Amino acid sequence: MFAGSTVTTGTTRSVLGVVLVSYNSVDVILDCLESLCAAAVGDGTTLRIVVVDNASSDNVMGAVGEWLAGRTVYLPPVDLPFPHVPMHKPLPEGQVALIPTGVNGGFAAGVNIGLAHLFADSAISRVWILNPDSVIPKGTPAAFASYDAGPFALIGGRVFYYDRPEIIQIDGGTINLWTGVTGNLNQYATVASAKPPLASACDFITGASMVVSRTFWEKVGPMPEDYFLYYEEVDWALQRGELPLVLVPAAIVYHRAGTAIGSPSVGRRASPFSLYFKHRARLRFVRRHLPRSIVTAWLYTLAKVAQFALRGWWADVAAVCRGALDAPPPKQVRERLDPAAAKLAFAHK
């Protein structure tokens, strides 16, 4: 594990790029964009936002375009974790760019398109990768934009559950070197009871809210795309060399976990779609980075299969088995991907 830094404030402001990768996110993305832009105005941060759409079928690009032009009356959700006054529209020209990909190439493919677009602007030295099912309180854009304590690879903040805003989802990620299982520091702890960890305790920064430096991008290159879902940010972080990870506890987001792919959340287990891609990615990651742990990684897989079988969760059993074997997915997983996306998802072996 490489050295990291944990900071609370900074002194230098710059243009902060933001990448949102959308996939059928029309029900949540306007809350994200509204809160993000309002937070930046409130703390004086200049944003350049790119929405990269992975061939959604819900007209999310049209909805965002209508919102940008001010033709949509935005009403904040009643359960928003903080006060919000709707933004004046239309927004300044050039603040938000829309890039339709035409195909769902996976999370990393969408991220890389957005990063390449933003880093083409020499005024942008860092880009925030942000899930569109998040909302952003005042102070977070400034916290990410103002960190200035030397070169870094990736910056993370604190991610709380949207529907339980006093509960932490992740304060930084860890990797079990025997199984390849990732862990969330302070997950399910309350904000009042859990102190932010040191960055030196982290192995990676969650892709739900992660700031990438131009230095890291130019040194390491794009995020690995062959996972399609899960572990791409874990793999990426391990390529950073001596560039440190950084944690900025003041950079808070509230995350509606699992809205697109059924990731587990408080009181909700993972969907077969999530299980298939997570176990597929974990074994791929172990073969690539932890080959000596392949036996113990498979023992973990078999234990999960036995656990689900004892509970009669046969769809989960099928998803885990097929994912771990890198086999074609079961029907309920395959049906959620159009043919073009499926071809890309299963092209890498």
The string of pLDDT tens digits covering residues 43-95 is 889 999 999 999 999 999 999 999 999 998 899 999 999 999 888 889 888 89
Q: What is the dihedral of CA 28, 31, 34, 35, to 10 degrees?
A: -130
CATH 3.30.1330.60 applies to domain 4-255: no
Residue 75, judged by CB atoms within 10 A of its CB (0-12, 13-18, 19+), counts as exposed
Average pLDDT over residues 130-147: 95
> What local confidence, expressed as pLDDT, does residue 330 receive?
79
99, 113 contact by CB (below 8 A) = yes
Angle at 279 between CA 227 and CA 60, to 5 degrees: 55
pLDDT grade for 269, boundaries at 50, 70 and 90: confident
- State pLDDT tens for residues 164-213: 999 999 999 999 999 999 999 999 999 999 999 999 999 999 999 999 99
- Whether residue 4 is predicted with pLDDT greater than 60 in this model: the reply is no
User: Beta-carbon neighbour count of residue 222 at 10 Å?
Assistant: 15
Q: Which amino acid appears at position 238 of this protein?
A: L
- Whether residue 113 is predicted with pLDDT greater than 50 in this model: the reply is yes
Pairing of strands 245-255, 4-6: parallel
- Whether residue 145 is predicted with pLDDT greater than 90 in this model: the reply is yes
Stated pTM of the model: 0.90
Instruction: Mark residue 93 as left, alpha or beta (left: phi above 0; alpha: psi -120 to 50; beta: remaining).
Output: beta
Tell me the domain boundaries of the chain.
Answer: 4-255, 272-345
- Whether residue 305 is predicted with pLDDT greater than 90 in this model: the reply is yes
Question: What percent of the chain is helix, strand and coil (3-state, nearest 5)?
Answer: 35, 20, 45
